[in-house]
Structure 1
Amino acid sequence: MVVCPPCSCRFVEVLQPKRDTQGESLGCLVFFFIHMRLRKKHIHIAIAAVIAVAAVVSRFYYDSPTPLSAVTLEEQKYSLLTDEDGSDSLHIFVFPGKDTLVATARDSLFLRRITRERPASWVNRLWLPSCFGLVACKTDSAEERPLTVIREDSVPAMLRRELATLTALQRNYCNQLSEIDYYMHSHDMQDEGFDVVIRHRERILHRQDSVSALMASIRKLQKSKVFRVEEKASYCIVNGKERFKAKERFTLRKGYKAFGATDDALRLFVRQFRSDGFRPVYLGADSIGYGDTPSKALSVPADTIICRMQQKGQNLVAIHYKGGGYYEGEYSDSLKARHGFGIGFDNRVRAGKWENGKFKGEQPVYSANHVYGIDISRWQHELPGRKGYRTVIKKVRRGKQWRRIRVRRKIVYPIQWDRLRITSLGTLSKKKVNGTVDFPISFVYIKSTEGISIQNTYYRNDYAQARKHGYKVGSYHFFSTKSGAQAQAAYFIKNSHYSHGDLPPVLDLEPLEAQIRAVGGEKVLLARARLWLEAVEKQWGVRPILYVSQSFINKHLNETDTKTDARYIKKNYNIWIARYGEYKPDVHLVFWQLSPDGRVAGIKTPVDINIFNGYATAFHKTFSGQK
């Protein structure tokens, strides 16, 4: 039997070749015909002719691409901007959507962001060794527009725009850091989500450094009067773990681009042929790459970048919003759920419970490490209604006879100041407690006045006893909608104490909606509250605290453009909020009232339990400057 050179088959197998390749089968038939017709001494001429014919025929008869012939081509195109002497430079990429990406020459992330991955296939031709290492990929007219050329005369305007954008971005980072630092001021490692907040803070600091370096480079370039713009392009063939630099090659095939490896292409091809066993495909193939769909071009960065993660059976997601927002935590049905950390476009830090994409509030773990306090009034000495009285038998002389009569006397419970200790955080809501509730009390607020005619008869004694036993003490006024703000402020100042080391005075503002309407509406109420706060601040030289409920915050202190007093109050005064449940403030808090039905050893009646929004160090730092 005689061996056929094109495919190594034997003549007896010519009619049923092993390979289903039209080019090789045709070569077998030609070789067989020549062998039967020519004499042995001319067979070398026939073999050469057959090889030449096979080379031409193989150009038109080729295999379709297979996954084994697929590779990836990485493409990077950008503009390099330098000053006159080339000492300072910037990398610039203009996205199709006109969004511009600017980076320093040292920014490695820039190249990763503009790297486009193209599905490609080997197109080496067996009969033309010069094409070893050649790959081809499909193009798309919409994506193959030439790189946007940056004109040198437009560089100054572009630099000004980018500098303004970066300045705004840096300002946003500063605002986020301010909010995160406020969060850290009032939380520690035992609070859920604290570690995520700290990691995000480090990310922001790193971005601030990068933006600062970029702004410095732009400012240096702005001082130059002459700019040079150079277009850069680099390509790399990626085959598994191997990477080979490449250059774009000329091709007459429309709708395709060809790229040739520059690093020992022949060795690359031979090794791949042996290891993977793939059959080479040809540039004339109808299908190149992973399929008929071209790769997607780089587009303007999306408004939202989502990274999915898995951890201990949880569905976790990290979402980066283009405007600067961020969320990291659990998700369900494409919505934020259960536990997570978010920082919105308002720069508010929200770490805690989420439900159906909405933040529900923090769920702190209460322990002895927190700073607790109470607020008291006459109701910590008396019981309301009939329970506050007892009937006693009293002897009364009428004429010459003594008679016994029943008399109702008010029951007064003294506060045992040397025994004060929190034994219950209340029962109106579930709370996570670390250990047993047996917490010390660090501060006491005492009601002094209400309106312009009501005083707490126990105020003076309680104030003196609280200071005597070493508690931080403060006084509060219950605001009445039936009296003027100035008159109420004067009444409070006249009948209250404020000494060195005391806590700031408090305005207790909790009107009903009907009372707000009766006083003239929300605008009038907030204006009066502001007058009270400013009058007391002017008299005592210390900025008061505003006590309100969560619902009042949501409805009346939401900082709309028409509510100038609301915006002023939220900006200039600390808030003490009442919310019985999870922690969900929309303002910076100084105190938070946990419950109205707590229990304290040494006090007979239920007590309002409060917590300082921070820990001992922050508490002393916050109030150490009080006069």
Structure 2
Amino acid sequence: MKDYILIKKKTAFGCSMAAITLMTAAVVLMFRHPSETRHKPAIVETMSYNILKANGKSILFFRDITKDSILRDADIKPDNIRYGSKITVSEKDLHSIVKRYKAFLKDRQIELTEKEAEMDYFIKRHNVRDEGFDMIAKHYDKLSEESIAVGKIINTLSVITDSTRLEISRIVSHEDTGRKPYSGIFVETDGGIWRYGTWLRTKREGKGISHDGKGNLICGTWNADTIVEGRRTDGKGTYHGHFNKEKEAEGHGSFAAADGTYYEGRWVGGLRNGFGFELGRSHMKAGEWMNGVYKGERISYTSERIYGIDISRYQHGKGRKYYPIYWNRLRITDLGRLSKKNVSGVVNYPVSFVYIKSTEGISIRNRYYAADYKQARKHGFHCGAYHFFSTKTSATAQARYFIRNSFFKKGDLPPVLDVEPTHKQIVKMGGETALFNAIRTWMRIVRQHTGVKPVLYVSQNFVNKYLNAAPDIKKDYNIWIARYGEYKPDIKLIYWQLSPDGRVNGIHGDVDINVFNGYEDSFDSFIKTERIK
């Protein structure tokens, strides 16, 4: 009996120790990191890519084929391809895919050329002191690199003909990972996260996958339970950049739209706010955005910019009161007060160019034009003449009247046609078509006489309402815009009349102040190529 009791005690003790051991093991397992208990398979695929072969020779490397028959991530080297899907396709279908891909590349090359031209225009007229210049220049370099890469692929595919034998092979690299843990990427769901194969109610930290309030997928990096940077894709395109706590775009980010339009800049609450640029195939908008709406470029006024004035008889007074212009004293001392301006330092700028009104219609002449023109040239100013267009008389007669009463000497600035009709005046003369035909006629006659392309002066309102109806004029002639606001006009231009109420030392009363679209190097180039020879 004692032996039995002893055996029972030993058995009970052994069972108790076993239970304690199991409980301890369970607790240890509970608090051990899941990565210590769950492992990847020993052999995993670490890299793969597809090879397009022509007559047995490898010519192109790519990831996979999209449903639009595009070779995804194609390159002449496989260095940037991490994973390539297995592809099964007949040689006949492969020939069709390559043909469609060639067409896609040619269109992409044209698109890149158009976008580079838009950015080149901006870069030539700005410098590192302008807001956003470095960001835009960086994207310009990126487009240039892509353009070169596309050209190389087009050249590589040019060897393929209908008789070329095509095939696809796949290269796969494997690695024995041994006892390495699963990746630390989490997936947010049901108020918690899945990580290492376990659902946890814990803070989000590191790389993860989530979705925003609209159900759009977000892949990003979290810090202290808040996403700080990531990529979100929706039906309109893909955003890449910083986010706020509500998973809205906020801070610096870029958006690549499905139609090829690209935006990069500042975001607040999911909308474009602050400085940014939008680039399409035929347009570029760089400047301030407010709640998703483009406002324009707010430039900084410094002594490095090129300023000019335009004058008429009004700078000499009204009625019988006469005021002379002291040409040896000319300095711009005030840029006008109709709008806010970002001025750096004190406004005390030299006058770099002068335009003088010569004629209006077929019967009005500025009686001070000849004297002002001679004095401007005598004092070394770049100067030119402008004509105020009338909707009541023929463009041919106006052009001849302007030529007959104006000077066009070697070194003069190109002449200007000042067009400021009201809507009623446009309707009365026969509508937009009649107006633009008249403008073309005047420009052609004056160009033939002077040997240079005239400049068209219009308001921003005219640009918005009418100028798109005459794309040839918009493309072929330099534009001078009058816009009395804090933002630069949204169009390619040569001059911007930024105020009608500026002040110039040496001239009585208000003066129209203009700024050249560019810095000294651009202005020098303009003078060399556009002035009268």
User: Which interval holds the TM-score relative to the shorter structure?
Assistant: 0.7 to 0.9
Q: How do residues 6-21 of structure 1 correspond to structure 2 at under 5 angstroms?
A: 10-14=14-18, 18-19=22-23
- For the residues of structure 1 that align with 2:59 and 2:78, how far apart are their CA atoms? 14
Out of 609, 612, 620, which is 2:516 matched to?
612
Shift of 1:222: 4.5
Cα distance between partner residues in 2 of 1:198 and 1:288: 42
Question: CA deviation digits over 1:302-348, x for unaligned, max 9?
Answer: 7622122389xx722122234432222111221101222222343x2
| TM-score under structure 2 length normalisation | 0.80
1:533 CA drift (Å)? 0.9
1:469 corresponds, among 379, 395, 402, to 379
Q: Counterpart amino acid of 1:489?
A: A
89 and 189 in structure 1: CA distance in 2 versus 1, 3 angstrom threshold = closer
**Residues 524 and 486 of structure 1: is their aligned pair in 2 closer, same or farther, counting only changes over 3 Å?**
same
469 and 103 in structure 1: CA distance in 2 versus 1, 3 angstrom threshold: same
2 CA distance for matches of 1:343 and 1:197? 10
Deviates most, 326-335 or 583-592: 583-592
Aligned residues: 470
What letter matches 1:454 in structure 2?
I
Shift in Å, 1:108: 2.9
Task: List per-residue Cα deviations over 1:361-385 (Å, max 9, x = no partner).
Answer: 11111111111110000000013xx
For residues 365 and 607 of structure 1, the distance between their equivalents in structure 2, rounded to whole angstroms, comes to 20
Name the CA shift for 1:79/1:150 in 2 (closer, same or farther; >3 Å).
Answer: farther
Contact 1:81 1:227 in 2 (8 A): yes
State the 1:179 CA deviation.
1.4
Is the 8 Å Cα contact of residues 376 and 383 (structure 2) preserved in structure 1? Answer: yes
Which of 60, 65, 83 is the matching residue for 1:94? 65
Letter in 2 for 1:512: T
CA deviation map 1:386-418 (0-9, x unaligned): xx4xxxxxxxxxxxxxxxxxxxxx011110000
Q: Who is 1:198 aligned against?
A: 137
1:513 aligned partner, one-letter code: H
Task: Note if contact 1:367-1:433 (Cα within 8 Å) is conserved in structure 2.
Answer: yes
Cα drift, residue 209 of structure 1:
2.2
Match of 1:319 among 255, 268, 291: 255
Deviation at 1:446, TM superposition (A): 0.3
Q: Note the residue ranges of structure 1 that are not aligned, 5 or more in a row.
A: 3-8, 23-64, 116-145, 236-244, 246-261, 277-286, 389-409
Matched, 1:428 2:338: yes
Distance 1:350 1:68, change over 3 A: farther
Render the CA deviation track for 1:90-140: whole Å, top value 9, x for unaligned. 3250246765415125143333xx57xxxxxxxxxxxxxxxxxxxxxxxxx
Residue 74 (structure 1) shift: 6.5
For 2:524 and 2:259, the matched residues in 1 are separated by 37
Conserved? CA contact 1:363–1:583, under 8 Å: yes
Q: Structure 2: where are the runs of 5+ without partners?
A: 1-5, 8-12, 27-32, 185-194, 201-208, 211-216, 220-232, 245-249
Aligned pairs for 1:133-152 within 5 A? 147-152=86-91
288 and 428 in structure 1: CA distance in 2 versus 1, 3 angstrom threshold:
closer
CA distance in structure 2 between the aligned counterparts of 1:595 and 1:532, rounded to whole angstroms: 27
CA contact (8 A) 1:83 1:224 kept: no
1:288–1:427 Cα change, 3 Å: closer
Q: CA–CA distance in 1 between the matches of 2:162 and 2:326?
A: 74
Say if 1:483 and 1:71 are closer, same or farther in 2 by CA, change over 3 A: farther
Match of 2:285 among 350, 370, 374: 350
Paired residue type of 1:317: G
* Contact 1:376/1:446 (<8 A) preserved: yes
Distance (Å, rounded) in 1 between the aligned partners of 2:164 and 2:306: 61
Q: Does 2:240 correspond to 1:307? A: yes
Match of 1:120 in 2: none
The 5-angstrom pairing of residues 546-625 of structure 1 reads 546-558=456-468, 563=469, 566-625=470-529
Q: Per the alignment, do residues 10 and 221 of structure 1 end up closer, same or farther by CA in structure 2, a change over 3 Å counting?
A: farther
CA distance in 1, matches of 2:306, 2:401: 31
Given that 1:375 and 1:608 are in contact with CA atoms closer than 8 Å, whether structure 2 keeps it comes out as yes
User: Separation in 1 of the partners of 2:93 and 2:478?
Assistant: 49
| TM-fit CA distance, 1:223 | 8.5
| 3-state SS of 1:336 partner | strand
Alignment of 1:83 onto 2:83? no
Q: Which residue does the alignment assign to 2:125?
A: 186
SS in 1 for 2:473: helix
The alignment's C-alpha RMSD in Å is 3.4
CA deviations 1:46-104 (Å, max 9, x no partner) are xxxxxxxxxxxxxxxxxxx9565456777766532212242524325024676541512
State how far apart, in whole Å, the 1-side matches of 2:78 and 2:55 are.
Answer: 21
In structure 1, give the amino acid aligned to 2:517: N
Contact 2:51 2:59 in 1 (8 A): no
Q: What does residue 541 of structure 1 align with?
A: 451
1:520 paired to 2:430 = yes
In the alignment, the residues of structure 1 paired with residue 489 and residue 294 of structure 2 have an alpha-carbon distance, to the nearest angstrom, of: 11
- 1:70, 1:601 → 2: CA distance? 81
CA distance in 2, matches of 1:83, 1:482: 69
1:218 aligns with one of 134, 144, 157? 157
| Counterpart AA for 2:251 | N
1:172 maps to which residue? 111
Aligned to 2:75: 104
Check 1:71–1:219 CA distance in 2 against 1; reply closer, same or farther (3 A cut): farther
Cα gap change, 1:290 to 1:324, in 2 (>3 Å): farther
Write the mapping of 1:155-304 to structure 2, written as runs, cut at 5 A. Answer: 155-222=94-161, 225-234=164-173, 245=175, 262-263=176-177, 265=178, 268=179, 289=197, 304=237
Which residue identity is paired with 2:384?
A: G
Distance 1:224 1:305 in 2: 40
Could you tell me how far apart the structure 1 residues matched to 2:328 and 2:75 are?
A: 65
339, 356, 359: which is aligned to 1:446?
356
Aligned to 2:313: 378
Asked whether 1:341 is paired with 2:277, we answer yes
Aligned to 2:390, what secondary structure does the other structure show? coil
In the alignment, the residues of structure 2 paired with residue 455 and residue 71 of structure 1 have an alpha-carbon distance, to the nearest angstrom, of 91
Counterparts of 1:468 and 1:309, CA distance in 2: 58
